[in-house]
């Protein structure tokens, strides 16, 4: 079993969003060396919609909910569990955050800023490339799930 053998996202985000599923413990240690840890209590906001920060978060422990703004409050669109990531959209495009993410349980996340990613890429270009491709795969899966759900709701 590898360092990050963990379950996929919980419904409604059902896809297998395992980041770097084939990475060795050494490769994970290299990635985590370039992050810093953040702890959250249940109810704490991890990411605010409209926020300008570009960090990517690796969910090491806990469960998070992804909430999108509506006219009156927020609506949950996904639950993210251990082993997945959040913040990939802003990490890639630098645009403001598109959703609020809040801790449902006590959570430990590893934050990777763009500058820390650059340092990782200089130290280990192959691993950084693998990380980017996995993030792209996870993003594509999430977009397909949302598209499929919207299409099913239109019928």
Is 146's pLDDT higher than 90?
no
- Of the candidates 96, 95, 87, 102, the one whose C-alpha atom is nearest the C-alpha of residue 135 is 87
Which 8-state DSSP code applies to residue 73?
S
On whether residue 10 sits in a domain, the answer given is no
Whether the pTM exceeds 0.85: the reply is: no
pLDDT at 8: 39
Q: What is the C-alpha to C-alpha distance for residues 39 and 49, in angstroms, rounded to an integer?
A: 19
pLDDT in tens, 10-66: 443 433 577 888 899 999 999 999 999 999 999 999 999 999 999 999 999 999 999
Residue 4: inside a domain: no
Res 45: pLDDT: 97
Q: What is the CATH number of the domain that holds 138?
A: 2.60.120.10
In this structure, is residue 9 part of a structural domain?
Answer: no
Which pLDDT belongs to residue 56? Answer: 97
Print the domain residue range for 33.
25-150
Q: Is residue 137 assigned to a domain?
A: yes
Residue 32 belongs to a domain: yes
The 10s digit of each residue's pLDDT in 97-145 is: 999 999 999 999 999 999 999 999 999 999 999 999 999 999 888 888 8
Domain count, the chain: 1
Q: How far is Cα 6 from Cα 18, in angstroms, rounded to an integer?
A: 8
- Domain membership of residue 108 (yes or no) is yes
Does residue 45 fall inside a structural domain? Answer: yes
Question: Does residue 119 fall inside a structural domain?
Answer: yes
């Amino acid at each position: 079993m590898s360092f990050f053998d963990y379950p996929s996202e919980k419904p409604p985000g059902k896809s297998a969003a395992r980041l770097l599923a084939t990475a060795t413990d050494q490769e994970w240690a290299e990635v985590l060396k370039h992050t810093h840890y953040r702890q959250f209590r249940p109810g704490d906001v991890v990411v605010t919609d409209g926020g300008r920060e570009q960090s990517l978060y690796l969910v090491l422990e806990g469960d998070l909910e992804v909430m999108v703004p509506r006219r009156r409050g927020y609506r949950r669109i996904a639950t993210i569990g251990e082993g997945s990531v959040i913040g990939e959209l802003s990490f890639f495009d630098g645009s403001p955050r598109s959703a609020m993410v809040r801790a449902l349980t006590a959570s430990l996340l590893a934050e990777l800023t763009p500058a820390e990613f650059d340092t990782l890429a200089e130290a280990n270009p192959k691993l950084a490339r693998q990380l980017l491709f996995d993030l792209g795969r996870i993003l594509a899966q999430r977009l397909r799930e949302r598209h499929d759900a919207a299409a099913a709701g239109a019928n």
